Amino acid sequence: MLLDTTSLAVTIDRCNERLFWGRDIAEEDRAAVCDWIARRQGLHGSYWGMFAPTDFDFSRPLTLFTGEKITTNAGRSHILGEEASVVLRRLGQSDPAVMEAVAKADDGLGEATARYYGMKPEAVGHYCCGTCTPAFWRNLRYGGLGGKEEWLSAGIRMLKGMRTPDHEWRRFSLPWTVYSLLDIDLPEAKQELEWVAPKLDNIAKRKGSGVWGERWREVAIRALGRI
């Protein structure tokens, strides 16, 4: 069972878990999840008309796929909106009603980015902060805002400027950022994975502890396989 009608965050995490490990998703589960998420488009609490978290989601920190915690309402709404768009594109592309909801969410995100880049034209390819940006990249990679590969390239090039001497990035969490780069087939993404490879090698050699530890270890292994 994937759908949890009390929590958009739990539902998305369950879907991402299945997709990450390549596990089958029954058609009835796929349809139920897509229908429910699509009907949350534009509801109260949504970020710029994207997909709204539930009251339960707003009552506790959001745990990202790689285990990091988000405690702000704006961060929860924005990241869940991006991740919901990704899940719907990956699970529901044959359903016109679902894709209509995704298109409306895109319209809202388009307005948000236009406003943000109007104030910060040098930030094209990034969005808000080092946690929201990887979620934005994931949405772009799966077709958000039409894909905009040039934005992805520009954003990841800016990540190069965040490198630290110990092979991480300033302001960008290592696990969440590497996870976001896994499926981005661009030279810039590969270069950043190469930069953090010494850290990834250490993670890959450890036994993952708990759900997030296992995911992080597998992310590191897959990232090393990209370079």
Two structure tokens written together for 90 = 């990956």
**Crossing angle of the two packed helices 149-160 and 132-141, in degrees rounded to 10:** 150
Distance CA 136, CA 184 (A): 12
Q: Quote the pTM value.
A: 0.96
**CATH architecture under which domain 8-225 falls:** Alpha/alpha barrel (1.50)
Provide the β-strand partners of residue 169: 163, 172
The CA distance from 66 to 102, in Å, is 24
**Average pLDDT of the segment spanning 207-221:** 92
pLDDT of 208 strictly over 90? no
pLDDT in tens, 99-139: 999 999 999 999 999 999 999 999 999 999 999 999 999 99
pLDDT at 171: 96
The DSSP letter of residue 3 is -
What number of other Cβ atoms are within 10 A of residue 186's Cβ?
15
pLDDT (mean) for 198-203: 96
Q: What is the pLDDT of residues 50-76, one digit of tens each?
A: 999 999 999 999 999 999 999 999 999
